[in-house]
Amino acid sequence: MPRDLHEELPRFVEPMLARSAPPPPSDGWALEVKWDGIRPQIIFDGHTVTLRSRRGRDCTNEFPEIQQLPI
């Protein structure tokens, strides 16, 4: 069923957390190194950009280079 394009999206989406798992049984697999730090969600309401941590904390001020982008 198609979504209504005017339907409002959630302000924050709970992210899926990474977890350890055994490697796949073949040689053709890859992995991603876990780098420390945050990977915020960017929320744009049409006027303002807000960055949120995985727990929903506003971390916009930690990324001034994002705040300075022309909208």
Beta bridge partners of 44: 49
Q: Which residue has tokens 């992210």?
A: 15
Judge whether residue 1 has pLDDT over 60.
no
- What is the pTM assigned to this prediction? 0.61
Q: Which residues contact 2 (CB under 8 A, 6 or more apart)?
A: none
- In degrees, rounded to 5, the angle at the alpha carbon of residue 58 between the alpha carbons of residues 57 and 64 is 140
Per the model's pLDDT, the better-predicted residue between 52 and 3 turns out to be 52
Termini Cα distance of the chain: 32
User: Across 1-71, where does the E strand assignment appear?
Assistant: 41-44, 49-52
pLDDT tens digits, residue range 6-40? 777 777 888 888 788 887 787 777 776 777 778 89
Pair 61, 68: CB distance under 8 Å: no
pLDDT tens digits, residue range 51-66? 999 889 999 999 999 8
